[in-house]
Structure 1
C-alpha cells in the first residue's frame, strides 16, 4: 500500500482503485485458463440480503447451465434463483443454510449435483438439476451475423482479454466477420473487465485495418517524469505499443496475419464492468480516427496498467503507468459515457445510455443494448432514457453493514479479468 496513490478524479473517485495481490498459483491458473469446477453460469446479485435477488447473467457454451432439457436451456439469462436443494435462497436467515447455498452456488469440485428452482424472465417457475464440471470460461462467448436491409452486421460477445486463449478466439471470431463481409460490427464488452493489452491491440487492428493504423500507435505507456524515455519496469527504451497486425504467440502462431474489417466505426456495448483493456480498445481506436459509438452505460474508468510481479509466491499488481493513445489522450479515469447520459463526469462519445437487459438473451436483436445499436445505426437516434435502474451489488462493495440475514457473497473476479496486463510471450 506504500505504492498506492490516494489522488482522486474530477468526480472525487479514487484514481487507484485497482491495487491488488494474489497467490501466484492462482495467477498462473487464471493466466493459463485452467479449468475449475462450475456449472457454467455467471450470476448477478441485485440484493445479497433478504429478500435476495440472484439472477443469471449468461451461461458458458457447452456447459451444464446451457445444456437443454425439454428444448430449454437449464439456466437462461435473467432467470432468478429461488431455491437450491429446497432451501429458500430469497429469504433464509439461517447461517447453516446460507453456508449450504454458498457451497451449492460455487462448487469446490466437479461432480457435485444440486437442484435449482428458478423463475424465468417470463414468470414461469421450474426446477433443474445441475452437476458441476471442470470448465474454463470462453473469452468469446458467442457470435452472430445479423442480416439487415442495409448490410450484414456482426455481433461478438467478448467477455475477457485475460487468458492466453483470448488471442486465438478473437482471431477466429473476426475471421468469421471478415468472411461474412459485415458492414458494421457490434462489439459486446459489457462484462469485459480487461486482460492482455496485446490482444486489445490485435482486436483494434482487426477492426480498423492497415490503412487507419499505419504509422500510428495503439498506446504509449506514460510513467512518471523520472522515468525519462525508459520503461522503469523492464529497463528498456519505452517504445509504444503498435497496432499488432499478426499473432504474437499466446495461442495464435507468432506472425500469423490477422484478418481486418477496415471499418470506419464500431458499436461498443458497455456497462460499468467494461474496464481496462476494453477501454484501451475504445481509446486506441479513437486515436486512429475510428468512430466509437457507445451503447449502454459509463465504463469503469481505468486508463492505468501494471506488469504482474511475483515475490515469494505472491503476485502483485501495482499501478505503474497510464496508457495514452496515438493522439496523446488517456484522461478517462471517470470513464467513457454515452452522449445522452446525464452523468456530470466522463468522456462523452456518440451513442446512447441504455440499461442492461436481462429479459432477453445476449445476441438477441430484441435485447435492449443490441436493439439500440441496430436502431442507432440507421437513425442516429436513441431510445428514451429510463429512470435509474436498480444497480447490481458489486462484490467489492459488500463490506458494509447488513440488515437481517447474513449475505450471500459473490466471489470477486480474478484480478486478471479487471486489469490491463502487459504480459507478452517469451521472446516478444
Structure 2
C-alpha cells in the first residue's frame, strides 16, 4: 500500500563533521565551496538551505557562490530562501521566474509539516476557505466534509461579514490581513459573523481540529440532450487515489462521455496522483505512450561518480513504501540509497519518462476544466498531459497560476524545503507555461452558487458547450440537475474576472501550490 510521501530524514548537518562533508570541491562546476565548518544551529541550517539550493534548484546556474551570497546574513530562513529565488531571469518577463510581488517566492516555500499532512489526507485546520465574489463580498468558497467548519454548519456561499470582530472590507488591507490572520493563521479558533444562504445573519465559532480530508468536494452526472456529462470538484492531489477510482467508476457506470473537472481551487499535490487521474481519462490507445518527461538542471543531469560522493544529496535517503531506509552496499555512500544514487537525465532508462497506462473503462471524448489563478502545478500538469491525447480540452475561468516546475522535499533540521527542481513537458514536448494557461472562455468565480447548481456561471458554460457546441448557447439540462441560487447582496457586478482573481490571490497567500515528485519512492 502506497504511504503518504513524508520525508522522515535523519537530522541533517548536525555537527561540524557533517558540514565538512557538504563542502564542495572548488573544481565542481555549479557547486558551492567554502562554508564554515562550525556555527550555531541556525547558521548551519542557513548554510544547508544554500548548499541544497545551489545543487538542486532548477535555475541553479544563476546563483552566486557561497562567499558572495553569505547565507548567514539573513534574519530568517524565509528571507534567505526568498533571496535565493530572485536571481533567475525569465526572458519573457525580464523578472525572476519566481517573482510575484517582490515579497515572497512564487514557487519555493518552507514547510513545518502542514503540507505533507494535508497531502496525506489529514487536515489540521478549520477546513474551509473564502473567496471574493464579483460584488466584493467575501464568501465561504469550500468546506471539507467532516471538518470543524462543516460541523459548525458553514456552507459554500455563506457571506462573511466579520472575522474576529473586524468588519470585512476588501478595499482595506487591514481587513484583508484580519481575514488571513483569523482564518488562515495559527489561532485555535475563529469567530465569524456570516449571512447564510437564506439571508439570516448569525455568529459562528469554528475551532481548529484534525479530520480526514476528502479532496472530492462534489460529483454529479447531468443529462444534456443525449449526452451524459460528469462533474467533479477536485480540490487537491492527495496520496489517496481510491476516491478518484470510485468517482470515475461511477461515471463509467452511468455512461458518461464528457467530463467537467473543477480545479478552480486546486493548487496541486502529488505527481503520481495527477498521473492516475490522467490515466483514468486518456483513451486506452495511449497505453505505453509517453505522458510526460522530467527535466532537471544540467548539473544534476551530468553528475559524475566523484561529484555524487561529495554531493549534499547523499544526506537524503530514498525511503521504501513503508517509509524505511533501503540498505545497500551498492549505494554511493555504501550504506543505503539516497538521492545521490538517482539518475537525473530525461530518459526512460533513468526513470524520468512517465507513460500512460489506462485505468478503468471510461471513454471520454471531451473534457472541460474549470480553472482560476489558484489552479496550479499538478493541476496544470493534468491539463497539459491530456491536451495532446484528447480530441478537445476546454478551459473555463481565468488564467491559471503558471507552475510547470515541481520538487521533492529536502529535510533540514525541523523543516522541509521545497524549491523547483524539475520541469515537465508532455508527449508533444510542450511545457513552459510560467505565465499560466489561457482559457477558452473567461468567467468569474461564481461563489454565489453552490456546487452543482446549473446556474453557476462556469458550470453553465461547460454544460452549454456540451449541449450546443458553443459556450454562449443555451443547453437543455435535465435529470437531477439542481438549481439553488444563493442571494446576491448587491445588484451590480463590479469586478471583472481578472480583478476578482487578483483579490483572491491576496486571500490565503500561504496556500500550497506545487507538484511533489514521488515516482522515486520505493524504487531501487
- Normalised by the length of structure 1, the TM-score is 0.75
Partner of residue 78, structure 1: 157
Task: Indicate whether 1:127 and 2:235 are aligned.
Answer: no
Contact 2:147–2:210 (8 Å) recurs in 1: no
Offset, 1:201: 0.9
Q: For the residues of structure 2 that align with 1:66 and 1:241, how far apart are their CA atoms?
A: 38
1:344-359 correspondence to structure 2 within 5 Å:
351-359=440-448
Offset, 1:354: 1.3
Q: For the residues of structure 2 that align with 1:13 and 1:168, how far apart are their CA atoms?
A: 41
Is the alpha carbon distance of 1:127 and 1:311 closer, same or farther for their aligned partners in structure 2, counting shifts above 3 Å? same
Offset, 1:80: 2.2
Contact 2:131–2:140 (8 Å) recurs in 1: yes
Is the alpha carbon distance of 1:387 and 1:59 closer, same or farther for their aligned partners in structure 2, counting shifts above 3 Å? closer
Q: How many residues are aligned here?
A: 371
- CA deviations on 1:99-137 (whole Å, 9 max, x unpaired) are 79945775744xx584x3323567x24214344243243
Matched residue SS, 1:292: strand
Task: Indicate whether 1:293 and 2:394 are aligned.
Answer: yes
Is the alpha carbon distance of 1:131 and 1:388 closer, same or farther for their aligned partners in structure 2, counting shifts above 3 Å? closer
- CA deviations on 1:192-228 (whole Å, 9 max, x unpaired) are 11111111111011111321x2231111012344555
1:9-408 correspondence to structure 2 within 5 Å:
10-11=92-93, 14-17=96-99, 18-38=106-126, 40-45=127-132, 53-66=137-150, 74-84=153-163, 88-90=167-169, 102-103=181-182, 108-109=187-188, 114=191, 116-120=192-196, 124-132=199-207, 133-161=209-237, 163-165=238-240, 167-211=241-285, 213-228=286-301, 235-236=342-343, 237-245=350-358, 258-338=359-439, 351-383=440-472, 388-389=496-497, 390-392=499-501
Contact 1:82–1:88 (8 Å) recurs in 2: yes
Is the alpha carbon distance of 1:99 and 1:184 closer, same or farther for their aligned partners in structure 2, counting shifts above 3 Å? closer
| Counterpart selection for 1:423 from 482, 494, 518 | 518
Structure with greater strand share of residues:
1
Q: For the residues of structure 1 that align with 2:200 and 2:184, how far apart are their CA atoms?
A: 18
Between structure 1 and structure 2, the one with the greater Rg is 2
Matched residue SS, 2:160: strand
Matched residue SS, 2:369: strand
Contact 2:194–2:204 (8 Å) recurs in 1: no
Task: Indicate whether 1:413 and 2:511 are aligned.
Answer: yes
Q: For the residues of structure 2 that align with 1:129 and 1:395, how far apart are their CA atoms?
A: 23
Structure 1: stretches of 5+ with no match in the other structure: 69-73, 246-257, 339-350, 398-408
Matched residue SS, 1:200: helix
Aligned-pair RMSD on alpha carbons?
3.6
